[in-house]
Every structure is written in structure tokens, then in C-alpha cells.
A and B are shown apart, each in its own frame.
Chain A
Amino acid sequence: MSTVALRYPTLKVTQARVMKSEWIKFWSLRSTVITLAVSVAVFIGIGLLAASMIGSGDTNGPGADLSSPVDASLAGVGLAQLAFGTLGVLFMAGEYSTGMIRSSLAAVPRRLPVLWAKIAVFSAVVFVIALVAAAIAFTGGQAIAGDAGASWSDPGVARAVIGSAFVLTGSGVLGIGLGALLRSTPAAISTVFGVMFLLSGIAQLLLPDSWSSALQYFPSNAAGSITAVTTSDGTLGPWAGLTVFAGYLVAVVAAAAWRLRHSDA
């Protein structure tokens, strides 16, 4: 056996190296790559379908209650949030369900660099892919809508497209955070689903009218404000929505970091 220590004197754990490790982990799992492809397909597919329904008078389907061709082309954000959230959960909680986490933490026993690297690699990859997907959905959607279609230079359009990519990336980061916090794939996926889909609906049913202004601060509604072209009554403006949504992410990731640092692996 050769002496690695002599041949490679620079062996040392660095944040950049842990990121390279997470990059290898991300692309070497068939499940991650397939989930990513499905997420993108769902996002673009629903957008194009909705755009084709603009002005058709159809009362069912994703484009039924949308009048804006921009909103229609980005209508896939809702379901894609769940898909990207699942991707984030798989990326993190998969380490716990398989036992991989013990290998990861034996290599990086300071632990937190693993979480930061996962979030950084995931965000970079997913943001770029989601941005390209959003651009495709928007451009394709406007082409389908024909004369009714919006253009990139219309007010709020660029923000809504970039905002969609941000929201999708954020949902994935939420998945990573919940995966690290709950350490279980099914529990984390159900929580992502509950937070992004059910929570505001249930609250709407249960909360008295005087509380209705609280609804705009719910994660799914805050995320919706970022991707909407025009701000409607009872919703936050895009920047306020972004701040609130980012606040939730910071809180979940902070809790995840605390658990990773303090619990037995």
C-alpha cells in the first residue's frame, strides 16, 4: 500500500471540496436526475397547456381562471414546487434513510459544511435549470397565445420569470431543510406538501375574516406574490413576498443546522 500522505501533502477538508463532493453525489444518483427531469417537464408542460387555453372559454384546466398569458405560461409553478421540493427532500433525507449520512459525516465531522454544500450545489443547479425551464415555458406560452401573448419587455414579466426559478429553487431548499430536520423522506415530503398546498387552504377555512390579512404571509401565498405579474388585493407585493418566503427558508435551514450540529448521526 502506498503512502497517500506523502504523495498528496495537501489533504484537507475545505468548503469547496465538500461542494465538489455534493456535486458528485447529486449527479451520481439516477433518482435525483429522473426527479429533476420530471419536475422540469411538469413545470413546462402545465404552462404550455394553460397558455393554449387562454381565451378558449374552457372552464376546467390550469388556464381556466387565468386571464394573463404570463400567469398562464407559468401556471406550472404550483405543482413544480412540490416536485422540486421532493427533489430537495430526496437529496438530503435519502442520506438518512440509506445510512450514507454516517459516511458523509465521518468524512466531514464538522458537519455543517455538508449542509451548506448541499444547499449551495442544489441551489446553483436547480436555479439555472428552473430559469431555463421558466424561459422556455414563457416563450413557448406566448407563442401559443399568439397576438394575446406578452413580451419580455412588458412590466413585471422578467421579474415573474426569474421569480418562478427562485420559488422553485426555494421549494427545493425547503425540502433539504425539512429532510435534515425530520430525517425521513416520507415525513419531509408530506410536510413540503402540507406547507405549500394545504396550509393556506385550511387556514382560509378556519380563520375568522378579521384574520384574513394574515393569509398573505403564508409560505405558499408569499411565494405566489413573487411569481405574479400584477399584485392583487390581499397579497403581498413581489419584494415583500420574496422577503417573507426567504424568511421561512432561513428559519427552516437554521433549525436543520441546529439539529445536524447537536444530534447523534
Chain B
Amino acid sequence: MIEVNELTKRYGTKTAVDGLTFTVKPGIVTGFLGPNGAGKSTTMRMILGLDRPTSGTATVNGRPYAEHSAPLKQAGALLDAKAVHTGRSAYHHLLAMAATTGIPKSRVEEVIDIVGLHEVAKKRAGGFSLGMGQRLGIASALLGDPEVLILDEPTNGLDPEGVLWIRNLMRDLAARGRTVFVSSHLMSEMALTAEHLVVVGKGRLIADVSVGEFIEQASHDSVVVRSPRSVELHDLIAGPGVTVLSVERGAFEVSGMSAADVGERAAAAGIPLHELSVRKPSLEEAFMELTKDAVEYHATNSPELATAGKAA
């Protein structure tokens, strides 16, 4: 269980995390979703006591992480695959971490096998690929067989087989009653893995909902209509609360009116329809819709180009 209460982190005048409050429950995978720069990593570092909050609190299993007598048993974290001395072997890295808490050598060998690094465990970690580094980070997270797992973008740099492996690992840990808190900037990835979502943008909480609810909340179905007499049809359905967007010649997208209503009005006026379909937005679109006001870095159309286009 992770409890975050009014957590705030400011760097000078810039607020990275702004009054976040949420709870991560055991037994499910909770996705921590937000665009790049939304404050996800900073929040995770504050939960682990690596960064000091400007105000607010974060607890792991009821206490600040640093106050546990065996922190690695309470929470294991993958914050950054590069949190390893490049000159040391994977085996010695894990052995040194394990030694702090009295975790035996046999457990070190066990986690090396779990993440599949057996072949390269005695090699310098500096020569590892991103995927191997990620697996080593996961091995360190699992070292104390912790109640809580905090994983920052764990699928970064993994091949499809690795992505599947980590997805199954997270689900398996959750099924054993562990708390699994995993960050991502990819909604599609979270929809496959997480049951619950904490969505942030610009350091603020945007949503704290189940995956199903999130999709429902964020997405509005629209109707695509195609007709040879589209102009007449347009006049027929346009009205307050209804938006009609032209898609191409003879086709438009209607939101705010059901497909059945569109079909009935057309039939009543005797207008033939060549297409009448319901369009469900993708998860990625739903996510972007929800976070569009909170995106830190986004591409904008160059104003000069736009003006030049008009002039021509």
C-alpha cells in the first residue's frame, strides 16, 4: 500500500509535483500515467525518500519508506536502469545491495535466474544493453521480495518478449497480493497491464479511476455518416449540442447524436445513407483528450508557415 498525501515538489519557481493525493492498493497493478515531464519519476523518488518533498507526505505500508527497519523488504524499485556502477558485475551489484539488509547470497542467485541474467551475471554492468540493464534493475527491485513494487517505465528498451515477460511478472505479483505501481506514458501499454490508473499532468492529479471508467469518461463515441445528399442531411441534424465535422466530400463525423437518431432522421426525410457507423476513439486518443491541457512539451505548428500558406 502506498499513500500519497498533498505531495508537492518545487524546484525554484517550477512546480514539478503539485499537491498530489492518491492511494495505491495491494492486489492490483496500478498504472501511473502521464505525458513526459508530468512529475511521475519525481513522485516515485519522493515515495522512496530519494527526493525530499517541498510539502506533503508519502508512506509505504503505513510509514515513510526511510523509517522501515528493512526498506528493501517493504518496497523494491526500478527507478532508472542506470542506477548501477558501470564497473561492477551484476552479481556483485546485487550482492552489495543484499548485504545491507542481510538478504542471503542464495536470494541474489534466485533473482538473477528470475530475470534471466544468469549468463552475464559476472560481466561488467557497463557493457549491458538497455534491456539487460532493465532486467538488472528489476532483479534489484525483487531482491527483498517486497510487498510493494515501484517500477518507472519498466518496459523501456525491452524487446517484445521482454515486454510480455514484465507484463506477466507484474500481474503475477499483483495476484499474490503485492502492490504494483508502474509508470508509463503509453496508455495502450497500461490498458493491457493495469486495472487502476492514476493519471497526472503538469504535476497535478487528473484522474484516479479504474481502467474501464477512465476509457468511458474520457471517450465520447461519434458517428460517421456518408450520403450522396450530405448537404441536406447536414441541415437536418445540425443543432444545439451537436457538432458536425466534415471528413471528406459526402461524409461527416457527428458527435452529440446517436447513430439511431441520425438514421431515423435521414429515413424520415428520405435521404439515402451509404454509411452509418459508430466510431470508438482509441485509448491513446482518450488519454490525449484527457491530458491535452496538461502536456508539458508539445509540437506546435509554426505560425510563419501557417501565414505563408494562407497568403499563397
Contacts and interface: CB of A to CB of B under 8 A. Distances in A.
B101 A11 contact: yes
Nearest to A26: B96
A230 interface: no
A5 B103 CA distance: 10
A8 B104 contact: yes
A98 B85 contact: yes
Interface in A80-134: 94-95, 98-111
A17 B71 contact: no
Contact of B96 (A28, A110, A265): A28
A258 to B, nearest CB: 14
Contacts, number: 129
A2 interface: yes
B17 to A, nearest CB: 13
Contacts of A264: 45, 50-52
Nearest to A113: B100
Interface string B66-79: 10011111000101
Contacts of B96: 21-22, 24-25, 28
Interface in B49-103: 49-52, 65-66, 69-73, 77, 79-80, 82-89, 92-93, 95-97, 99-103
B65 A109 contact: yes
A13 B87 contact: no
B144 interface: yes
Contact of B145 (A1, A31, A94, A107): A1
B49 A8 contact: no
Contact of A17 (B49, B66, B100): B100
Contact of B71 (A4, A14, A106): A106
A17 B145 contact: no
A264 B42 CA distance: 10
A51 to B, nearest CB: 36
B71 A95 contact: no
Contacts of A262: 52
A8 B93 CA distance: 21
A11 B51 contact: no
A107 B72 contact: yes
A45 B101 CA distance: 42
A6 B89 CA distance: 29
A20 B172 CA distance: 33
Interface string A160-193: 0000000000000000000000000000000000
Nearest to B71: A109
Nearest to B169: A1
A15 B107 CA distance: 21
Which of A4, A10, A265: most chain B CB closer than 10 A? A4
A5 B145 CA distance: 7
A interface, over-half SS = helix
A69 to B, nearest CB: 40
B114 interface: yes
Interface residues of B, number: 45
Contacts of A28: 88-89, 92, 95-96
Contacts of B87: 29-31, 94, 98
Contact of B80 (A2, A102, A104): A102
Interface string A47-74: 0000000000000000000000000000
B83 A102 contact: yes
B148 interface: no
Contacts of A14: 102
Nearest to B178: A1
Contacts of A21: 96-97, 99-100
Given A17-B101, A99-B80, A109-B48, A12 B144 contact: no
A47 to B, nearest CB: 30
Contacts of A2: 110, 145
A99 B84 contact: yes
Best-surrounded residue of A3, A100, A101, A262 (most CB of chain B within 10 A):
A100
Most A-side CB within 10 Å, residue of B52, B70, B86, B99: B99
Nearest to A114: B100
Contact of A12 (B65, B66, B102, B114): B102
Nearest to B73: A11
A24 to B, nearest CB: 4
A18 interface: yes
B102 to A, nearest CB: 5
Contacts of B52: 262, 264
A11 B80 CA distance: 25
B30 interface: no
21 contacts: A4-B103, A4-B144, A5-B73, A10-B102, A12-B101, A17-B99, A17-B100, A17-B101, A18-B100, A21-B100, A29-B85, A95-B85, A99-B80, A100-B83, A102-B80, A102-B83, A104-B97, A106-B79, A109-B50, A110-B66, A111-B66
Given A22-B96, A25-B96, A100-B93, 17 more contacts: A1-B145, A2-B110, A2-B145, A8-B104, A11-B103, A12-B69, A20-B100, A21-B96, A24-B92, A28-B96, A95-B85, A101-B83, A102-B83, A103-B97, A108-B71, A262-B52, A264-B51
